[in-house]
Amino acid sequence: MEYWQQSLKASITTPAQLAKHFPLDVPALESVVERYPMRITPHYLGLIEEVGDPIWRQCVPDPLELQAGGLAEDPLGEESLSPVPGIVHRYPDRALFLTSNVCAVYCRFCTRKRRIGCREHGISFGEILAGIDYISRTPQIKDVLLSGGDPLLMSDRLLGDILGRLRQIPHVEIIRIGTRVPVTLPERITEGLCRLLSRSQPLYLNTHFNHPREIAPEAAEACRRLADVGVPLGNQTVLLRGVNDDPAIMAALLRGLLRIRVRPYYLHQMDLAAGTGHFRTRLESGLEMIGALRGQISGMAIPHYVVDLPGGKGKVPLTPDFLKQLGPRAILRAPGGERVEFPNDP
């Protein structure tokens, strides 16, 4: 077993284990974990400074998750955009390829929490092959995004096999990997993995930092290793109430990312996913934040603020000029031109 696999095994997966480190209401959390699993790696646990801090809020189950509050299990309509299991094909030239159903840490705000970490949604090798087959017979697809779950929780061997097969498809021009392991399990970024990724160029890696305290020395080192073998690094942040919905914290995060050679790509408005409503912010909060950052920090550090419209209608970038048009139900224009209502009522 590799060292990172041992770390994963040493992770906390029950409230009782966490109660050995921090005071907490074990039975209340157990009822959450029955529905939405928990896992906190030793590295991520070590970033918690106190109960309720921004690291804690992202990884420790909260009874508020059991209040759906009218939010959907699958807000982005991914299941309906799925031609074969594991593929989400919304934009003609790009496809999401969900190759893993597990993550190093189960983020409490995850938009796919309906299925991530749940045994019944495991992905078989046969399904992965069927996904590769779909990509190979769909020549419009130029860009494959490996996502999940976290694709870097697959073994080097399985990941190498998948990348090799994708590389043999002539119309696949670029591969992207979406992963949070540089943040949550930085020891996963081994030399062997870096060699494998550098052999699959052009390959882009998008990671997921949400708070400046996640830019720990180990995470910085993981990003350095990736950047040194020539893997371009981007970052997707989710705007989270009580975690990073503060312009000073956001500026510190974005600046810190450029320092470790990670280019901020997207700032995501929270999706309307059941069990995550307590993290929602108003659209004004994101727009004001982008407005405050302009002129304050390098343009290279400023991500696109995007709303992923319900029902799979696509991502819409919002800029501060949108402010005047907002109300409790914002009307946004989908990539196809359609006007779509987005609730702005948290």
Ligand X SMILES: *Cc1c(COP(=O)(O)O)cnc(C)c1O
Q: Tell me how far, at minimum, the Cβ of 72 lies from ligand X, in Å.
A: 15
User: Taking contact as CB under 6 A, which single stretch among the options 91-99, 188-196, 221-229, 323-331 is the one that binds ligand X?
Assistant: 91-99
Residue 225 CA, chain-centre distance (Å), reads 21
Q: Is 176 a catalytic residue?
A: no
Q: Is 20 a catalytic residue?
A: no
User: Taking contact as CB under 6 A, which single stretch among the options 14-22, 83-91, 155-163, 254-262 is the one that binds ligand X?
Assistant: 83-91
Q: Note the residue count of the chain.
A: 346
Q: Does 91 bind ligand X (CB under 6 A)?
A: yes
Tell me whether strands 143-147 and 174-178 are parallel, antiparallel or unpaired.
Answer: parallel
User: What token pair was written down for 277?
Assistant: 């409503």
Where do the H-state alpha helices sit in 199-320?
Answer: 217-228, 247-259, 283-293
- Site mask for ligand X (CB under 6 A), range 306-325, x = bound: ---------x----------
Q: Does 153 bind ligand SF4 (CB under 6 A)?
A: no
Tell me the number of residues near ligand X by CB under 6 A: 7
Q: Output the CA torsion sign for 85, 88, 90, 95.
A: negative
Q: Does 88 bind ligand X (CB under 6 A)?
A: yes
Cα separation, 282 vs 135, whole angstroms:
37
Q: Is 194 a catalytic residue?
A: no
φ and ψ of 95, to 5 deg? -135, 140
Q: Which of the residues 39, 57, 90, 280 is marked catalytic?
A: 90
Q: Does 96 bind ligand X (CB under 6 A)?
A: yes
Q: Which of 158, 119, 135 is nearest to 86 (CA)?
A: 135
Q: Does 112 bind ligand SF4 (CB under 6 A)?
A: yes
Q: Is 315 a catalytic residue?
A: yes
Q: Which is nearer to ligand SF4, 74 or 150 (CB)?
A: 150
Q: Measure Cα distances from 219 to 44, 82, 189, 209, 289 in Å.
A: 10, 33, 9, 10, 25
Three-state secondary structure call for residue 13: coil
Name the residues that contact ligand SF4, by CB under 6 A.
103, 106-107, 110, 112, 116, 148-150, 180
* Active-site annotation, residues: 90-91, 94, 103, 107, 110, 112, 271, 308, 315
